[in-house]
Structure 1
Amino acid sequence: MDQTARPLRIPPEMGTYAEKHGIFDLMQTILSRLLVDKPQDPVEYLLDLLKRGNFEVPQIFVLGPPAAGKKTIAKMLCEQLGATYISPDNLLAQDSNVVKEALEFHNKKQDIPNVLWIKLVEERLSKMDCIKRGWLLEGFPKTREQAVLLQEKGISPEHVVFLEAPDAVLIERNLGKRVDPETGAVYHTTFDWPSNEEVQGRLVEPPGISEEETANKLLEYRRNNQALENTYRYVHKVFNADQPCIDVFSQVLTFVLSRHRSVAPFTPRILLFGSPGSGKSLQAELLSQKYNIVNICCGQLLKAVVADETSLGELIKPYLENGEQVPDTIVLKILTQRLSKLDCTTQGWVLHDFPRDLDQAEKLNDAGFIPNRVFFLDLPNELCIERLTLRAIDPVTGDRYHYLYKAAPSQQVQSRLQRNPRDSEEDLLRRLAIHHENIHDLQEFYRDAVHVNADQDPHSVFEVLESRLVNRPPKTVKRQPLTHF
């Protein structure tokens, strides 16, 4: 190996550019289409896909209990979106060896094995109408096992619609259901009776709609419903089906026209702001451990550079020893070197203790290190003082204690506790004043930031951070003009 080779660094602009121009979404879409469609000639397939420019086709599941209106909403969506309608019934109406194998079980009144169902779905989605126009699968999967098998085949919907209504409403709906045997159209004795007398005369009651049968089907659905929602927790939404059909359709259409793919592929670039004592260090450590991202505290980074005894370390050593602020140009040079390393650019990072003012934030932004998640941990001054001025450390064991929240276990331990000089009330008030001098400008600069109440149990704070990190990351920061200072 060439020991003189320079360490690999990925320009920070790469991730920002990819997010801004939807490169991550594009790559995820292409990979998903390849896994689902499995073309014989992948290169030719991709070229054709990119030329057509319509690779963002609908991929939707519509699920729900009996009589929730799945078929009606699904047909309306397909008509609006131009997507191919698929259901368990029309899967069995195809002509293939897999269908014949499945029908052998069906004709014997036996459950079709899940593996066969997945083959039926996979075979249908490989047809050209599904590839070009997209698809909507109604009433399937019915269990978590089926959902997992679909995922293993690369079949992952963009949107999952769950229709929901009280059991009493669903039973009433099912009891009034009637079917036209010639057209397959579904009507209802109360809500949707046909005006044509000829159609009225040939309507029949479909099998399996008695109160007892419907109740059993509802029980089976409820048994699997929560597991299905958990499986599709990032792409699903539950809709109240106990309202006019046109209202349900309008709400569902708005949902399926939305895009929410951006959560998964983004590399986390997180900034944590907060006053001294707000818990930035602890939250950064928790985020780093759970998501395997790089935890960077600017103050600790500077100390590490000094410990390495490099020329840069020797340059900043006097500043740290005298308690003076290291010049921004030097700090930014050290920080950008660290953020440009491979682990940061591929795994992501969480940064705290920098930037501390507007000028530093602008310089970080100009250097190409633009966060895509920004959090402010809000805590009143009196609680900051209470948290920090009453904490101490045992120099023998290294254990940390607090005179209010975690008292020393014995008088012997109590007598040897030591407090950090930086935790004196005088020093803390000075740091709080500096923090509040700059916080408004930083909030104006990072306008898409999320504010979190830090006056909670640390794990409660972490749950809030995690929910916004996973489910709805803030938009990429853009410089906004300040209206006042």
Structure 2
Amino acid sequence: AFHNMSSTQNLQLQSYLQSKDLSSLFSSLFQSITVSKPKDPISFIIDELKRDLETTTSNDITFKHHKKILIVGNQQKMAEKILAALCQALGGPTEESTGSTLSPLAYTTSTHRHKINSRLDALKLQEKGLSPDLVVWCHMSDFDQFLKANQLDDTQYSQSQFTNDNFTQQEILNVFKGGASVVDATNELNVLTVLGRVMHAIIHNNPKAQATKRIAIIGAPGAGCTTHATRVASIFNVPRLEPNNVLAAIANEQQISSDNAPHAASLSAQVRQALDSNQPVSDDLLNKAMLQRMSQEDCRSGYVLDGYPRTKQQTDFIIAKGLAPELIVLLRVTPDVAEARIKGRQIHTETGQVFHEIFAPADSPANLVKRPQDSDEGYIKAALRAYKTDEDSMILELQDSIHEVDAQQNNVQVVQHKVVNACFGEHEDAEKIFVIGAPLSRMMAVAEEIAKSRNLILINGASSTSSTEYERTSQIVKKLRSPQCAKGWVLAEFPTSAEQAELLVQNSIVPTKIVVLNLKSEQAVERAKKTTAQDSIQNDYFHYVTNRDAILNQFRGLLHPEGDKESSDSPSHIATVNAAQLLPKLSQDIACFLEGKRSPLRLIFAGAPASGKGTQCEMIRDKYNLIHLSTGDMLREAVKEQTELGLEAAEYMNKGALVPDRLIEGIVAVRLNMPDCLERGWLLDGFPRTSNQADFLVRTNNCPDAVILLDVPDEVVIGRISGRRTDPVSGNVFHLEYNPPPTDEIAARVVQRSDDTKDKVKVRLSAFHNNLGGILTTFGEQIFRVNGNQKKELVTANIVDFISELKRV
């Protein structure tokens, strides 16, 4: 029994015996224990293999069937370690491999190693009757991970070399894999795990030694292992193996193997005896029980280990037996959180299912009990300390297979999604973006831009042809779970219904960000007139409006798991964007959202002379803290600062000539990209005046959020301008009707500007109308018309209401 104890148990026993002055009686025993347990994990595995080979009685389980072993792939260091261990364990050749530096293709028989550098080399060996019995595929499929694993950089080994070597190695594998057992160690970093699986394949002559879905969910008591292991087992449709349940089943003779019934019956008796004694089951007995359970038929395609392994001895055992999990999800919680969860834990007496009275309550209180130890604070603290000691030693051996998950949150569903995604190999920092929206809102164009700019995989949700919601969603889930999507993806035009969204959540497909492209119904209808969707647009838009909130509600609680409500001061996980914008501006706003920033407000004020642009610009500037920019001010500032463009513009201004468009456009572009405009946003007054200037803003990615057009009838404009008078003494401007001079003296001296006559005003109005068409064509759906022929306060109120809606969207 002492030999089967863990190292921690040995130390505890020695300490106890010393306290009773009995340690000298057992000194030779402790010495034998120390000698019999190799410190080197690989040596331990080799010893296990030799022992299994010596003790096996089955005629078809013998090393005779595996004298020829091929190790192929780009994992050089792992291949060398496995080859050396095989030679040591199986008595093969020990001379150095002659494989190439970056593509070690090692092949061993009982007396020779061979260098295999190409498909031709493989075919020659095949012709000689030297095809391998077992192929070990040590391969890294990701270029960046390959460089990291082999401590290289892209100057030493290029992407093209990696691709070419992959092709060569795959060709060699294809030559032999049809007639050999295969241990598939793709992307496996832990040499002990791979070596254990190789040993398992050798011992059992397993013709299907490819990797199964073997997952372990471990963590401190109270971390939620059982809750999340149950969920993962359900997702992958494999059994969940929890040590206490396994022991109970074996004690009741429910898991006796038909292949070796006498041994299983003996094990059942040992387990019953241990359980009846009310003492902790030794690691040795638990390991045997777990091994028998993992050997059952229903575990062939995989299993989920619930809270196992938990000690170093358990870890060494499953590695040596080739049953180490491909992935170990380590649930991280602080001791105070773990203690609180344990104290609230409830067990269903019939199903064994674990609930929590606060965080995961049962539907009914019937048949729920609390275990006595779950209320014993001293017991809980001791259990947490003991786990921490065992975890530290276990992690050292399995660290390459461990994926840590922050399980602190009390929202069980959120942690479940993290665990499931880890089991599918998803990167922890993967960006997962939904792009949904109104019909004809250019969802695919936006999604393509996001995928391209952020190096993500694009999935077109509208491409599915399945008739049912379930089938369509299943197809999407399968695509998103593919290896190429592990680093992140963009899903466009899906989900389109609450049912689809719910099915995605059930499969733990939860986005990190959602982009909603919104259009008003009249905008969608107008766009539909230019397409074949005109007949269905009303129904499609109604479907979008009625499903949008229901879809978002499926994800809101998962995107804000700890009650983190969306704030108007900071970007949330969901952005509803105005899809009526030009695509460059739309892309800019979405990029800001994805980077966690607010896109500053950018407005253009347009209107005829004397339509009130200056007055409204001042009101809106002050309310929203925008930078107010007029063409004249920008020209004068550029001249004053003596910029290159300003000096050139000054030459025209000094001659009384018009400044060319190219200079005005250049000065505007420079000003719009200054830090204050980029941070606070801007308001353009008097620019653009022509279609060429409007197109320039689009070309330079300076599109506005909206163009506010002040509509004032021509006759009103003529009256406003022709009635305008200037006091040459004070410089004040009056109007004969709306704001007359306050005294007769001032009235007698005011004058009319030469270009304020009715005839001159009509010429200016004609030029305005001629150019307005081009501006309307460029900015189209972004135009907001407001009645400028009303009190200025009402005009401002109309503009503020529009901007409020714009900012909300």
TM-score of the pair, normalised by structure 2: 0.28
Which structure has more relative contact order (CA 8 Å, sep 6+)? It is 1
**For the pair shown, which has the larger CA radius of gyration, 1 or 2?**
2
TM-score of the pair, normalised by structure 1: 0.45
